Amino acid sequence: MMVSSISQDITEIVDAFSADFKRVRDAIHRAIVGMDDVVDGTLITLFAAGNVLLEGVPGLGKTMLVRTLSKVVSCDFSRIQFTPDLMPSDITGTNIIEETTEGKRYRFMAGPVFSNIVLADEINRATPKTQSAMLEAMQEQSVTVMGNIRKLDPPFVVLATENPIEMEGTYPLPEAQLDRFFMKLLIHFPSEDELCKIMERTTGELAATLSPVIDRARIIEMQNLVRRVPIAEHVSRFAVRTVLSCHPENDLATPLVRKYVRYGPSPRGVQALILGGKIRALIAGRYNVSADDIRDCAYGALRHRLILNFEAEAEGVDPDAIVEEVLSKVEMPLTEPRTG
């Protein structure tokens, strides 16, 4: 009876997670046409308590997606427009001197990073020094200003947009900062049917009315549930082997990895695969992670963590092609029967 009750409780919890995830996704699609994989990847990042990098040429709806998300979840939202003259203090905040009845004193004026959902718009238009101001916030969920550490309120997620590196007036993101992004999602040009629907929504009289469908407390609750989802050792090792196969010096490295990759993903790549896999399982109504859940997250979790060599850049090698080969060759470890 007790086992049955526990199983029933877990089923209800998983069903509630899946239902809330789909409610947020459906609400976003009231304003966003297509981009199914991008929307799912963005929400997976939110519920994994990570950060997401959205890449695409101007006009494809990157900023619109983030703004839509901010309207369907009841959280504080702020936007940082990255420009070449943006300073780190414009992001984190600074101490100002103010006059009081007792004399002059310093008062901290919080920057826009002190929010729950932060849109870092066109992040690669700022200098690397300014981009690095986001590092501590993205990893530690805190910022240090004049020696004082200030914590950021949960949930905290950075949704950054960038134009392709080859476009004029942009700076490549430092590898250390790229590694802080849970996923990198690519936004492609819409299809003919999608473009027609976009025109209907953006040139007609009525715009979609958006309202919050989930609050801050529920997001934190769902983030905590993700951490409690169990994962079998052989599935966890599959995620580890997937990342190890992306390292050219490793025995598991594939031919494309040995030829074109300079450095493979950090352990954060494994964390992204496993946490993303847990969320994929919950969306599907399962309380256990499969290898397919890991595979579904591989492109978003690994493409920006592959540091390619000069030969790859000269030949225009796509990181996704390398991830595809890795997924086709990495093997699932066999489960070992328990003894005794």
Residues 311 and 222 in one domain: no
pLDDT band at 7, cuts 50/70/90? low
Question: Could you tell me if residue 146 is inside a domain?
Answer: yes
| Of 77-86, 144-153, 276-285, highest mean pLDDT | 276-285
Domain range for 304 is 229-333
CATH number at residue 320: 1.10.8.80
Residues 56 and 70 in one domain: yes
Q: If we measure between CA atoms, which residue out of 113, 118, 107 comes closest to residue 88?
A: 113
Side chain identity at residue 96, one-letter code: I
156-168 pLDDT per residue, tens = 999 999 888 666 6
48-94 pLDDT per residue, tens = 999 999 998 888 888 889 889 999 998 899 999 998 888 888 898 88
User: Of 313 and 172, which is predicted with more confidence?
Assistant: 313
DSSP 173: P
* Strand pairing category for 157-162 and 117-121: parallel
Residue 206 is predicted with a pLDDT of 65
Residues 155 and 288 in one domain: no
Residues 223 and 233 in one domain: no
Domain final residue, candidates 204, 228, 252: 228
Residues 198 and 326 in one domain: no
The yes-or-no verdict on residue 2 having pLDDT over 60 is no
Residue pair 260/316 in contact by the 8 Å Cβ criterion: no
Question: Could you tell me if residue 34 is inside a domain?
Answer: yes
Question: Could you tell me if residue 1 is inside a domain?
Answer: no
Residue 165 is predicted with a pLDDT of 67
Question: Could you tell me if residue 129 is inside a domain?
Answer: yes
Residues 191 and 99 in one domain: yes
| Of 32-46, 269-283, 303-317, highest mean pLDDT | 269-283
Average pLDDT over residues 304-322: 93
On the CB side of 277, CA atoms within 13 Å amount to 24
Residues 301 and 192 in one domain: no
| Domains contained in the chain, number | 2
Report the percent of the chain where pLDDT is more than 70. 93
Residues 195 and 247 in one domain: no
Residues 193 and 44 in one domain: yes
CATH number at residue 111: 3.40.50.300
Locus of tokens 């990042």: 45
123-140 pLDDT per residue, tens = 888 888 888 788 888 888
Residues 221 and 296 in one domain: no
Residues 249 and 310 in one domain: yes
Residues 155 and 36 in one domain: yes
Helix, strand, coil percentages for the chain (3-state, nearest 5): 50, 15, 35
201-259 pLDDT per residue, tens = 878 766 677 888 999 999 999 999 999 999 999 999 999 999 999 999 999 999 999 99
DSSP 307-319: EE-HHHHHHT--H
Domain final residue, candidates 199, 228, 257: 228
